[in-house]
C-alpha cells in the first residue's frame, strides 16, 4: 500500500520511475539520472518564475510498496499554470528519457482524468483510478481494469505491477485518442507559453531591492505573496523601514508573471506615514510605478523581518557541492551557454542563473532545511553591492513596460471563453432548417397531456410519453387479498355498527319508495341541467366578449370571415350583418392557437435564460428553437 503524503490544497506531487523495474540498484543511479534530467531542463527552468515553490527532483528510497524513484512536491499557490507546466515537463522528460515512467497527482487525485472526464470509460472512477495514469515515451497511458491479476473492480493496481506491464506492453496501454487530445490541448503552447505568461512593469524601488532582483529575479514571487497575505503584525516591521529605506529609490523594470502582477495591482493599500513612503497624485504619469514599488518594498521588508540572521549554509559556495561539477558538464553538453566565451559577461550571467537553479532544484539530503526567502535576500545584500548613480543612469534607458489591458476582459472575449469551456459540438444544424422541421402541434399536445394529468400531494406528474399505460386498480381483488391476510374474524361488528346498519336499512326503504315515485323525473334531470349550464356559459361568454379579457383571446376569425363573405352576396346580407354584429363577439376561441401563442411569448420574454416555459417544455422533451424574428430585428438595428 502506498504511503499517504501530506496533500496541500494547492500542491502537485510527481514521481519518475526507472524501467525495467530493478534498474536502479546502483546507489548513484537515481542521483545521476536526476542530474541529467535537470541539466536537460535547465534552458526552460533557469528563468522561470514560480508562484510559490520551484520544480525539484530528489532521490526517494523504496517505501510502502513504492519502488525507489526520483520525484518531488511543488506548491503552486494561486497560479494553476505552474501545475500544468509541470505536466508538460514530465511529458518532455519521458520523451527525452525513454527509460523513465512518470506519474503525478494533487489533492484532487488523478487530475489529468478530470481534464478528460467527458471521454473516460465507464469503469474508471475515483475509487479505482489511483496508479493508473502515467507518461511513458511522451504518451499518456492508462492501465485498464485487469481481470487476470486477481484485481477487484474497486481496487487500484500496485506501482511495481504497473511498471512491469508498461515495460512489456506499452502500445496496449496508450490512452484513447479523445483522452490524449483533451490532456495535450491543456499543455499545448509550451515552451512559447512561458514568455507569454510574463509581464514587465516599471517600479520605483529601493536600490537594495533592485540589486537583489538582478541577482535573483524569482524572489519577486515571494515578495508579492508576503504583501498579498500580510496581516497587522507583518506591517509593524514597516514602521519604519529598516532594511529598504525609501530615500534610495530608483526606477527599474521588474518581470512578473501575470498572476503576480494581477495580485499586486488589485490590492488596495495606503502606506502608513511612519513608513516614509508617500505616493504622488493618482493623475501623476508615474503613479502606477510608485504604487507598485511601494507594495513590492513592503513585501521585501516583511520577508526580511521574519529571519533574524543569515543561515550558515547560505554562505557556502555552490562549487563545494560534489554534484555541481557533473551538473555543469551536463549544461555544457546541452549547449546551455550558447557558445559564449567562458568569463564573458553573458557567460557569467547565465552561470549565475544556473547556480541559482541548482540550489533550488538539485539533489539535496532529505534532512536539509531549505533556506527561507528572507535569508536569501539578506545573503544577497551581504554579497552584492550597488552604485546608486549607475542605477539612476540605467533608469533613463529602461525598456518599455508591457500593456496591462489584459486585466480587463470584454464581453466578446468572455463569451468566447465560455463557449470554449462548454465544449459544444462542432456540427450544429442551421437554425432555418430547425425552424422548418419544427412542429408547433407537439407543443399544444404536450401541454394538453400535462394538464390532463391528475396531480397528487407531491406535485404534478410530467407526461414523458403519450403512449404511457394507465394504471388500473381492481377493488375486488384488493379486498379479497386483505381478507386472506387479516382473516374473516377481524371484521366482526360492534353494537354501534349494528345500530347504524339498522338505521341505514330504514333509510333505504324510504329512498326506494321515492325512487319508484319519481323515476321519470330523475331520467329527465341530467338533460335539464346540461341545457341550463350551457345557457349560463353562453351568457358568460357574451359578457366577457366586450371586456379586455375576451378581446385578448385569438378566435377562429378566418372561418367566420369566410362564411360572412359568402352570405354577404345574398339578398339578406343586411340582416346577416346585423346578426353577425351581435354573434361575432362570441366566435369560438382557438384553444391551441392561444396556448402556443402564450408559450412562445413567455419563452421569448426569457431572453435565453431559464424560465417557466422552457422548464416545463424541456421536462416533457420539447425544445423550442430561437426566435429568429427577434434575432433578425436586433441584428438589423445593430447594422
Torsion sign across C-alpha atoms 74, 79, 80, 86: negative
What does the pLDDT average to over 250-272? 94
Is the pLDDT assigned to residue 28 strictly greater than 70? yes
Range from 195-204, 383-392, 573-582 carrying the lowest mean pLDDT = 573-582
d(CA 234, CA 507): 95
Give residue 573's pLDDT. 47
How many other C-beta atoms lie within 10 A of the C-beta of residue 200?
14
Give residue 212's pLDDT. 94
Give residue 1's pLDDT. 37
Q: Could you state, in order of their start, the residue ranges of all structural domains in the chain? A: 11-186, 197-311+371-421, 555-587
Better-scored residue on pLDDT, 467 or 121? 121
Most confident of 311-320, 353-362, 506-515: 353-362
Give residue 461's pLDDT. 61
Helices 81-96 and 29-45 cross at an angle (nearest 10°) of 120
d(CA 151, CA 148): 7
Percentage of residues of the chain with pLDDT beyond 90: 34
d(CA 97, CA 102): 11
Give residue 564's pLDDT. 52
Better-scored residue on pLDDT, 578 or 150? 150
Give residue 498's pLDDT. 45
Gyration radius of the chain's alpha carbons: 41
Give residue 6's pLDDT. 57
Give residue 191's pLDDT. 92
Give residue 427's pLDDT. 37
Is the pLDDT assigned to residue 113 strictly greater than 80? yes
How many other C-beta atoms lie within 10 A of the C-beta of residue 138?
14
What does the pLDDT average to over 384-411? 89
Give residue 614's pLDDT. 77
Q: Tens of pLDDT along 192-228?
A: 999 999 999 999 999 999 999 999 999 999 999 999 9
Closest CA to 31 of 57, 53, 67, 64: 57
**pTM for the complete prediction?**
0.66
Better-scored residue on pLDDT, 533 or 160? 160
Give residue 94's pLDDT. 96
Residue 117 cell numbers, joined: 472526464
- DSSP-based helix, strand, coil % in the chain, nearest 5: 55, 10, 35
Is the pLDDT assigned to residue 543 strictly greater than 90? no
Closest CA to 125 of 135, 134, 117: 117
Is the pLDDT assigned to residue 50 strictly greater than 90? yes
Q: Tens of pLDDT along 53-104?
A: 999 998 899 988 899 999 999 999 999 999 999 999 999 999 999 999 999 9
Give residue 145's pLDDT. 82
Give residue 431's pLDDT. 38
d(CA 318, CA 58): 17
Most confident of 146-155, 242-251, 500-509: 242-251
d(CA 8, CA 13): 10
Is the pLDDT assigned to residue 364 strictly greater than 60? no
Output the average pLDDT for the chain. Answer: 78
What does the pLDDT average to over 336-342? 84
Confidence of residue 402 (pLDDT cuts 50, 70, 90): very high
Give residue 454's pLDDT. 58
Residue 113 cell numbers, joined: 482524468
What does the pLDDT average to over 242-263? 94
Give residue 229's pLDDT. 94
Better-scored residue on pLDDT, 565 or 215? 215
Confidence of residue 133 (pLDDT cuts 50, 70, 90): very high
* Residue 102: DSSP 8-state: E
Is the pLDDT assigned to residue 107 strictly greater than 50? yes
Give residue 613's pLDDT. 77
The set of residues, in sequence order, having a beta carbon less than 8 Å from that of 473 and lying 6+ positions away, is none
Give residue 303's pLDDT. 95
Percentage of residues of the chain with pLDDT beyond 70: 69
Give residue 493's pLDDT. 44
What does the pLDDT average to over 285-296? 95
Better-scored residue on pLDDT, 68 or 601? 68
- Does residue 216 sit in helix, strand or coil? coil
Amino acid at each position: 500500500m502506498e504511503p499517504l503524503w501530506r496533500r496541500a490544497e494547492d500542491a502537485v506531487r510527481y514521481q519518475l520511475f526507472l524501467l525495467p523495474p530493478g534498474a536502479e540498484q546502483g546507489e548513484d543511479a537515481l542521483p545521476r539520472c536526476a542530474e541529467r534530467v535537470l541539466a536537460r531542463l535547465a534552458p526552460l527552468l533557469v528563468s522561470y518564475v514560480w508562484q510559490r515553490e520551484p520544480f525539484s527532483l530528489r532521490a526517494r528510497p523504496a517505501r510502502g510498496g513504492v519502488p525507489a524513484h526520483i520525484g518531488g512536491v511543488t506548491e503552486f499557490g494561486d497560479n494553476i499554470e505552474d501545475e500544468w507546466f509541470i505536466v508538460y515537463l514530465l511529458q518532455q522528460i519521458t520523451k527525452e528519457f525513454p527509460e523513465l515512467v512518470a506519474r503525478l497527482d494533487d489533492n484532487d487525485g488523478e487530475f489529468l482524468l478530470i481534464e478528460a472526464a467527458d471521454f473516460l470509460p465507464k469503469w474508471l472512477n475515483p475509487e479505482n483510478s489511483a496508479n493508473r495514469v502515467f507518461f511513458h515515451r511522451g504518451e499518456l497511458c492508462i492501465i485498464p481494469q485487469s481481470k487476470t491479476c486477481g484485481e477487484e473492480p474497486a481496487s487500484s493496481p500496485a506501482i511495481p505491477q504497473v511498471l512491469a506491464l508498461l515495460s512489456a506492453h506499452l502500445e496496449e496501454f496508450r490512452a484513447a485518442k479523445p483522452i490524449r487530445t483533451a490532456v495535450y490541448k491543456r499543455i499545448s503552447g509550451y515552451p512559447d507559453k512561458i514568455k507569454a505568461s510574463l509581464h514587465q512593469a516599471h517600479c520605483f524601488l529601493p536600490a537594495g531591492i533592485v540589486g537583489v532582483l538582478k541577482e535573483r529575479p524569482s524572489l519577486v514571487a515571494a515578495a508579492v505573496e508576503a504583501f498579498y497575505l500580510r496581516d497587522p503584525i507583518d506591517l509593524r516591521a514597516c514602521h519604519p523601514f529598516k532594511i529598504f529605506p525609501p530615500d534610495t529609490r530608483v526606477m527599474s523594470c521588474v518581470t512578473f508573471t501575470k498572476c503576480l502582477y494581477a495580485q499586486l495591482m488589485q490590492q488596495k493599500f495606503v502606506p502608513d506615514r511612519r513608513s516614509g513612503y508617500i505616493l504622488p497624485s493618482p493623475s501623476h504619469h508615474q503613479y502606477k510605478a510608485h504604487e507598485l514599488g511601494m507594495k513590492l518594498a513592503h513585501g521585501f521588508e516583511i520577508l526580511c523581518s521574519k529571519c533574524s540572521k543569515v543561515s550558515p549554509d547560505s554562505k557556502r559556495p555552490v562549487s563545494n557541492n560534489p554534484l555541481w561539477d557533473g551538473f555543469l558538464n551536463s549544461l555544457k553538453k546541452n549547449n546551455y551557454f550558447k557558445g559564449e566565451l567562458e568569463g564573458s559577461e553573458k557567460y557569467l550571467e547565465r552561470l549565475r542563473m544556473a547556480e541559482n537553479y541548482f540550489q533550488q532544484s538539485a539533489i539535496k539530503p532529505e534532512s536539509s532545511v531549505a533556506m527561507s526567502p528572507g535569508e536569501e535576500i539578506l545573503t544577497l545584500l551581504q554579497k552584492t553591492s550597488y552604485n546608486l548613480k549607475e542605477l539612476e543612469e540605467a533608469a533613463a534607458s529602461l525598456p518599455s513596460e508591457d500593456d496591462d489591458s489584459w486585466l480587463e476582459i470584454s464581453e466578446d472575449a468572455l463569451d468566447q471563453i465560455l463557449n470554449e469551456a462548454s465544449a459544444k459540438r462542432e456540427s450544429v444544424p442551421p437554425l432555418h432548417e430547425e425552424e422548418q422541421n419544427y412542429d408547433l402541434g407537439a407543443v399544444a399536445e404536450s401541454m394538453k397531456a400535462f394538464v390532463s394529468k391528475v396531480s397528487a400531494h407531491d406535485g404534478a406528474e410530467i407526461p414523458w410519453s403519450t403512449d404511457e399505460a394507465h394504471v388500473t386498480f381492481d377493488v375486488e381483488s384488493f379486498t379479497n387479498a386483505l381478507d386472506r391476510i387479516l382473516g374473516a374474524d377481524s371484521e366482526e361488528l360492534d353494537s354501534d355498527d349494528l345500530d347504524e346498519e339498522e338505521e341505514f336499512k330504514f333509510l333505504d326503504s324510504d329512498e326506494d319508495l321515492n325512487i319508484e315515485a319519481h323515476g321519470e323525473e330523475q331520467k329527465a334531470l341530467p338533460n335539464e341541467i346540461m341545457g341550463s349550464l350551457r345557457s349560463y356559459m353562453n351568457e358568460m361568454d357574451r359578457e366577457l366578449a366586450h371586456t379586455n379579457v375576451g378581446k385578448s383571446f385569438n378566435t377562429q376569425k378566418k372561418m367566420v370571415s369566410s362564411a360572412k363573405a359568402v352570405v354577404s352576396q345574398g339578398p339578406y346580407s343586411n340582416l346577416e350583418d346585423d346578426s353577425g354584429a351581435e354573434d361575432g363577439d362570441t366566435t369560438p376561441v382557438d384553444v391551441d392557437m392561444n396556448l402556443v401563442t402564450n408559450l412562445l411569448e413567455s419563452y421569448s420574454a426569457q431572453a435565453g435564460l431559464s424560465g417557466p416555459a422552457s422548464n416545463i417544455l424541456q421536462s416533457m422533451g420539447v425544445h423550442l428553437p430561437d426566435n429568429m424574428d427577434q434575432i433578425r430585428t436586433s441584428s438589423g438595428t445593430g447594422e
